Amino acid sequence: MSAKILLVEDEEKLARFVELELGYEGYEVSKAFDGVTGGEMAASGGYDLILLDVMLPGRSGVEVLRRVRKVSSVPVIMLTARDAVTDKVSGLDLGADDYVTKPFAIEELLARIRAALRKARTQDTRCGETLTARGVSLDARGRFVAVNGAPVELTKREFDLLHYLLKNKGIVVTREALLENVWGYDFDGGTNAVDVYIRFLRGKIDETFGIKLIRTVRGVGYAIDDA
Ligand code: CA
């Protein structure tokens, strides 16, 4: 199956050239010429990789990346202007997988794409593993939770919250970190939301099954313990 690539690039000539070359390599390419459209397409999912220009009209590539990372771990390669060190650093900080400096040789871009897709495939197999603690198991890809084999129905938010706590098993996670990673940067409902959803989770898991899964760390946050 050919990989689907989203190309967000406002220089239309360059975009067409890259599209053509990727097409020769057997990739399926969709294009967006501005950050707003690109961001929406990226967030809707269904792509195996995103090529993201940094300097875009509407919304910068860095801003698009920030939004994409809230909902997806799809590999992203940033296309940056020569010597734009800040772009590279903020891109990588925000979770870009790689960057290519313009002007680039198409062979270099193709090599980076192959490497990023390969890396994503290896990680996929790892993410496919089930996370467990105290009889609770969470299958991230199937979005399925069970306690001692009995399925538990969770809302999307409850699932994401439990997923984040399980991924950080053995670590105390602050309310702020939970808000940022589960709710997103632009949520302004306050850290109370975290406590409310922890209560929901405890109702459905701890209380229903009589286990102690989520530990409160007063004044700090919550933890799921390792043992
Ligand atoms: Ca540009």
pLDDT tens for 122-154 read 766 555 568 899 999 998 877 889 998 888 999
Distance 56 CA to ligand 1 centre (A): 5
- Cα of 12 vs centre of ligand 1, distance in Å, is 9
Mean pLDDT of the chain: 88
Domains of the chain: 4-124 (3.40.50.2300), 130-224 (1.10.10.10)
CA 170 to centroid of ligand 1, rounded, Å: 43
- The CA 54 to ligand 1 mean position distance, Å, reads 6
pLDDT of 85 higher than 80 = no
Cβ atoms of 225 and 133 within 8 Å: the answer is yes
Ligand 1 (ion): which residues have CB within 5 A?
A: 10, 53, 55
Task: Name the band, by pLDDT with cuts 50, 70 and 90, for residue 46.
Answer: confident
pLDDT over 90 percentage in the chain: 60
Tens of pLDDT, residues 153-208? 999 899 999 999 999 999 999 998 898 888 876 677 777 889 999 999 999 999 99
Q: How far is the CA of 9 from the centre of ligand 1 (A)?
A: 6
Cβ(172)–Cβ(217) below 8 Å: yes
Assigned token pair, 68: 């994409």
Within a 10 A sphere around the Cβ of 96, how many other Cβ atoms?
A: 25
